[in-house]
Amino acid sequence: MPKKIRAEAFVVFGAIAFAFNGIISKLVLTSGLSAWHLTQLRCTGAFIVLFLYVFIGNRSSLRTTVKEIPWLAAYGIVGFALVQFGYFVAISRLHVGIALIIEFTAPIWILFYIRFIRKKHVPKLMWISIAMGFCGLLLVARVWQGMTLDGIGVMAALLDAFALAAYFLLGEKLVINRTTDTLTVYGLGFASLAWGLTSPVWSFPYSVFTQKINLLGRFEATNVPGWVLILWIVTAGTIIPYLAVLHGLRELSASTSSVIGMLEPVVAGAFAWWWLRETFTIIQLIGGVIVIAGILTADRARLAVH
């Protein structure tokens, strides 16, 4: 399989895994665990598991330099902690669809950065692909059903978009000289440190690990211990998709990867329809098709450049 196609497959897989993780996270949130504590648990748990794996298998790969540490700190705090912070504040003050649309303006900001800060050429097809993806997301989110705007909410959503753009741009830069697993360890480590400073570990409601949580929707007859779902969130919902996206960034640009990331809310809507029996209308389906068409157009733009 050609490297570029394999890289695209990694990013697509990462988007799908992140989307499915949204469903599992929603189940855990029904237990009464706050979104803040869930994010702290997700980052810290994933950091501990991945750190132990890398430390036991190849501890020398964790070595770094004084010059590199600020970049790694920025990657973790901005690309991991701020993305989730901005998202949770945004959805607490805005309609979820509006918050998602603003968040996924990240590919636009990436293109602006490449064109006007780096002074590099951006193919016309790439601009078209982003326009298609953005219009598709407008339909998927059905933004006309929640047009109530809040100043703080909009600012938080924009912060989320800028942080997501930084995640892709910093990842593209740092993955050149680092393995994907050690870069993810540092990213999760600095994010965990940031969350630990704002929410001390002794205040965490550890009872969620033994609490029985209902699977809702088509599996509402089943209850599982909280630790089962949390283990999924930490491993399959965090470590694996983050590693997959970074593997993709080794061969793809930040702009192409971020456009592919637009697939996440589309797939999340499909999962919610299948599992939680939430509505998924024809308009949303059309929006999903437009997003996919935008992703394919982005791939054509990449091929045109290379």
The beta strand positions in the chain, using DSSP E, are 212-214, 223-225
| Torsion over CA: 97, 100, 104, 105 (sign) | positive
Of the chain, the percentage scoring pLDDT greater than 70 comes to 96
CB 239 within 8 A of CB 50: yes
Instruction: Give the span between the Cα atoms of 199 and 41, in whole angstroms.
Output: 11
Sequence-separated (6 or more) residues with CB below 8 Å from residue 221: none
Task: Give pLDDT tens digits for 56-69.
Answer: 999 999 999 999 99
Q: Longest Cα pair distance anywhere in the chain, in angstroms?
A: 57
Instruction: Give mean pLDDT, residues 276-296.
Output: 90
pLDDT at residue number 96:
67
Say if residue 305's pLDDT is above 80.
no
Mean pLDDT across the chain: 90
For residue 180, the tally of other CB atoms under 10 A from its CB is 20
For residue 9, the tally of other CB atoms under 10 A from its CB is 14
Say if residue 168's pLDDT is above 80.
yes
pTM of the model: 0.91
Long-range CB contacts for residues 33-40, cutoff 8 Å, separation at least 24? 33/205, 33/208, 35/88, 36/88, 36/199, 37/199, 37/204, 37/205, 38/233, 39/84, 39/85, 39/88, 39/195, 40/192, 40/195, 40/196, 40/199, 40/204
Instruction: Give the span between the Cα atoms of 233 and 286, in whole angstroms.
Output: 30
Query: 89 vs 111, which has greater pLDDT?
Result: 111
Query: 36 vs 8, which has greater pLDDT?
Result: 8
pLDDT at residue number 148:
63
pLDDT at residue number 231:
97
